[in-house]
Amino acid sequence: MSNALKKIWNILSTALVVLMVSCAVFLMGSRLVGYQCYTVISGSMEPKYSVGDLIYVKKVDPTAIHVGDDITFVLNEDLVVATHRVVRIDVENQRFYTKGLANEIEDNDPVHFNNLIGVPQFSIPKLGYVSDFIQHPPGTYITIGIGIILILAVFLSDMIGKKKEDEEEDATAVQAEMDTAAEENERLKAELAQLRAEMESKK
């Protein structure tokens, strides 16, 4: 591999590794600090949240919710998750009444306090598509495969480069030894010629 191609490959492989690590941090690392990630699947909260956005939700106590807050909650028995704005609160019956920003009417069913997941803290546009792709087959397998290929390619490239460098170093060392031997041979020849000349002059 030429130096130019090797440099391009190193840049591309490094960029891909950084991208994959960054995605892993945003998707998995957030859970370590108490966030849950959800992909927006409808336009009911536009323009604040668009389809494909990834929202980061922090768990809160239901009693800390106020009218005007956006909440993420379990919508139905199929465990579908939604994020809508609270427009009314029935504290006595422990119910939130919600509405999507883009919707003209309130949601049909109130949200029980027990179905509250938390409050969205921030979102990253369109990262939800990446999240869904990585977390569900065949995207999971493709992502793992790409990761393995990148690791192997980087290691193989380094191994091939190291082997070539070792071969070049060995060749250089052999050539240096040959040059040293040739110089020594020429020196001995010169000394021998000088001795012969001295002996001839003494005759």
The reply to whether 8 and 85 lie within a common domain is: no
Claim to verify: residue 145 and residue 194 sit in the same structural domain: yes
The whole-number average pLDDT for the span 163-178 is 67
148 and 177 in a common domain: yes
Structural domain span for residue 62: 34-132
Query: Same structural domain for residues 94 and 159?
Result: no
SS3 34: coil
Q: What tens digit of pLDDT does each residue of 95-129 get? A: 999 999 999 999 999 999 999 999 999 998 987 77
Q: Which long-range contacts (CB under 8 A, 24 or more apart) does 86-94 make?
A: 89/65, 94/62
Structural domains counted in the chain:
3
Residue type present at position 25: V
Q: What is the CATH number of the domain that holds 43?
A: 2.10.109.10
Average pLDDT, the chain: 79
pLDDT tens sequence across 67-90 = 999 999 998 888 889 999 999 999
Residue 39 sits in the same domain as residue 65: yes
